[in-house]
């Protein structure tokens, strides 16, 4: 059976190339509506070319209802599909235990049309996120080049956008020699730190595919030599940082609270994001004394916290 299936796929691939069409695979997952963007981010970081949410009319406006998240790949084995499903399940992003669906597609070219709609995104007063295929960069702003087909973190999601705005604000107020970006993903926050004047940035992520994505984007950005990408566990770090960012899920931020508190230098700045508004109080409770909140930013149902740590003298 396995040999027959492989031969059949090879024949289809040859026919697709002969006719000038590309072949694609569509995987479908049932996810809670409120976590659609985060689930899409995980799948793109794991190699998806792009994602689309299928919203049944009856669930629009209901954040707790499930939607069908479609992820598109050039190719995808059953084993890889199981691994993607397990990753979403481990992150608490599946609406139920329904198995993912897999469909073979033939594309005459529509899959690349989305590039025409990906325009420069201005964030804050100085930053702009641009895709690598745009030759003319907006003037008067600091460009951060992100390949949106490589990993999550294009700045379009409210949590990423808010973190970038707070980063810009803090870097205008302070001269940070070093910084730490936890769960770097596409590397967008690390690139912003380097471009905003941070001397040296440590960017860590436990996902090897995410690190590959970040390094791919590093080749597109100026100042990336100031960034060190690593899979080092958070608990293995010992030196403190005056600036730390972590744009992750609330449950992960809560689990990381002891280490992030330990790693923040006196009077440093800790920017936490990826927090649903209803979860902000719970996250803050785990970062209580000696941490205190300087300010919050709320955008489209997501909260970003800027915290500081003051040591007793």
pLDDT over 60 at 74, yes or no: yes
Taken in order 211, 188, 27, 33, the sign of the CA dihedral is positive
Q: How confident is the model at residue 73 (pLDDT cuts 50, 70, 90)?
A: confident
Domain around 95: 2-113
Specify the number of domains making up the chain. Answer: 2
What are 280-296's pLDDT values in tens digits?
999 999 998 889 999 99
CA distances from 65 to 60, 154, 280 (A): 8, 26, 21
> Residue 265 belongs to a domain with what CATH number?
3.40.50.150
**Is there a single domain that holds both residue 63 and residue 155?**
no
**Is there a single domain that holds both residue 161 and residue 203?**
yes
The better pLDDT of the pair 111, 123 is held by 123
Q: Which two tokens stand for residue 155?
A: 């700045």
Closest CA to 284 of 253, 263, 262: 253
pLDDT over 80 at 270, yes or no: yes
- Which residue, 76, 98, 113, sits at the end of a domain? 113
Closest CA to 271 of 157, 189, 177: 189
**Is there a single domain that holds both residue 188 and residue 298?**
yes
> Residue 87 belongs to a domain with what CATH number?
3.30.70.120
**Is there a single domain that holds both residue 280 and residue 167?**
yes
- Which residue, 113, 131, 165, sits at the end of a domain? 113
Q: pLDDT at position 15, please?
A: 36
**Is there a single domain that holds both residue 94 and residue 122?**
no
Q: pLDDT at position 157, please?
A: 82
**Is there a single domain that holds both residue 17 and residue 42?**
yes
Q: Where are the beta strands (DSSP E) in 188-263?
A: 200-204, 227-230, 241-247
**Is there a single domain that holds both residue 99 and residue 21?**
yes
Among 36-45, 197-206, 290-299, the minimum mean pLDDT is found in 36-45
Q: pLDDT at position 61, please?
A: 46
- Which residue, 63, 95, 113, sits at the end of a domain? 113
Closest CA to 272 of 252, 300, 301: 252
């Amino acid at each position: 059976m396995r040999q027959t299936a492989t031969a059949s796929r090879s024949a289809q691939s040859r026919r697709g190339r002969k006719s000038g069409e590309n072949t694609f695979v569509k995987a479908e997952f049932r996810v809670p509506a409120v976590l659609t963007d985060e689930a899409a981010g995980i799948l793109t970081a794991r190699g998806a070319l792009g994602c689309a949410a299928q919203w049944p009319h009856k669930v629009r406006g209901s954040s707790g209802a499930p939607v069908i998240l479609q992820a598109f790949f050039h190719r995808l084995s059953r084993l890889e599909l199981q691994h993607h499903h397990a990753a979403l399940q481990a992150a608490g992003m599946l609406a139920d235990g329904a198995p993912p669906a897999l469909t073979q597609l033939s594309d005459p070219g529509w899959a690349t049309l989305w590039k025409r709609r990906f325009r420069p995104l201005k964030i804050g007063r100085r930053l702009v996120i641009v895709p690598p295929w745009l030759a003319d960069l907006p003037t008067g702003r600091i460009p951060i080049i992100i390949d949106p087909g490589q990993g999550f973190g294009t700045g379009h999601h409210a949590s990423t956008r808010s973190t970038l705005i707070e980063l810009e604000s803090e870097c205008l107020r302070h001269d940070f020699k070093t910084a730490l970006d936890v769960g770097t993903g596409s590397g967008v926050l690390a690139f912003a730190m380097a471009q905003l004047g941070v001397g040296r940035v440590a960017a860590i992520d436990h996902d090897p595919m995410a690190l590959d994505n970040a390094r791919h984007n590093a080749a597109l950005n100026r100042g990336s030599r100031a960034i060190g990408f690593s899979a080092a566990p958070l608990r293995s770090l010992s030196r403190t940082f005056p600036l730390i960012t972590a744009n992750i899920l609330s449950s992960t931020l809560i689990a990381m609270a002891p280490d992030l508190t330990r790693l923040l230098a006196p009077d440093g700045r800790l920017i936490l994001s990826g927090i649903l508004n209803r979860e902000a109080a719970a996250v803050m409770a785990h970062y209580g004394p000696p941490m205190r909140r300087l300010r919050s930013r709320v955008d489209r149902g997501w909260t970003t916290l800027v915290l500081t740590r003051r040591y007793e003298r």
